[in-house]
Amino acid sequence: MQRFVLAGLVLVASTGVALADMKITLGGGWNGKSVPKGQQCKLDGGKGSTPPMKASGLPEGTTWVYAEFNDKDFQPLATKGGHGVIGYPVSGSSVDLYSVPGLKGSLPGKAKVIKRARSSGKYASAGYLPPCSGGNGHRYFVDLKAISANGKVLEKKRVQIGRY
């Protein structure tokens, strides 16, 4: 790492790898403002699935993208994939994070449950727990992490998926 001083400013030049600018696009009617009708949990009358997303600009060396789903307004499920963590294998600089059904431990395609939702009792899930606040306006988001072959987080991005 080199430091340069220019007109009182210190500039730092690094010879390390520059981070990619990971971009996430929501699809399937998910707009980041409200959870689409029917995408809530079974207890609230829905058949919720994860929102389909496209991740592009992934850093070099990304082999998986982990999607950690959370409810910002319910502390026990507010962080670290409280509503479940789904992993998608990657080859290249982009990946389609296709929709997978809620409550399932076995998923279609090559997606896999990395961690099941931390919910319990009648809210228990073997995988992703769809929004399940009873329509109380909870804010749901996903933390997307680009993961290397050795498990290192290369980049992460938070995306609001909607209120329910």
Q: What is the pLDDT along the chain (164 residues), one digit of tens a residue?
A: 444 444 444 444 433 444 559 999 999 999 999 999 999 999 999 999 999 999 999 999 999 999 999 999 999 999 999 999 999 999 999 999 999 999 999 999 999 999 999 999 999 999 999 999 999 999 999 999 999 999 999 999 999 999 99
Token digits for 73? Answer: 């307004």
Structural domain includes residue 7:
no
Structural domain includes residue 16:
no
CATH of the domain at 127: 3.90.280.10
Structural domain includes residue 86:
yes
pTM, whole model, 2 decimals? 0.87
CA atoms within 13 A on the CB side of 112: 5
Q: Which residue has the tokens 């929501």?
A: 26
Structural domain includes residue 105:
yes
CA atoms within 13 A on the CB side of 66: 21
Kindly report the three-state secondary structure assignment for every residue of 135-147: CCCCEEEEEEEEE
Structural domain includes residue 4:
no
Give me the numbers of helices (H) and strands (E) for the chain, helices first please: 0, 10
Residue-wise DSSP of 12-61: EE--SPPPP--EEEE-TT--SSBPPTT-S-GGGT---BPPPEEEESPPTT
Q: Which has the closest alpha carbon to 103: 131, 68, 137?
A: 131
pLDDT of residue 10: 43
Residues in the chain: 164
Overall number of domains in the chain: 1
d(Cα 71, Cα 89) in Å, to the nearest integer? 25
Structural domain includes residue 37:
yes
Structural domain includes residue 5:
no
Question: In terms of C-beta density within 10 A (0-12 exposed, 13-18 middle, 19 or more buried), how is residue 148 classed?
Answer: middle
Range of the structural domain that residue 109 is part of: 29-163
pLDDT of residue 11: 42
Token digits for 78? Answer: 């507010």
pLDDT of residue 2: 45
Q: Which has the closest alpha carbon to 42: 159, 125, 150, 143?
A: 125
Structural domain includes residue 33:
yes
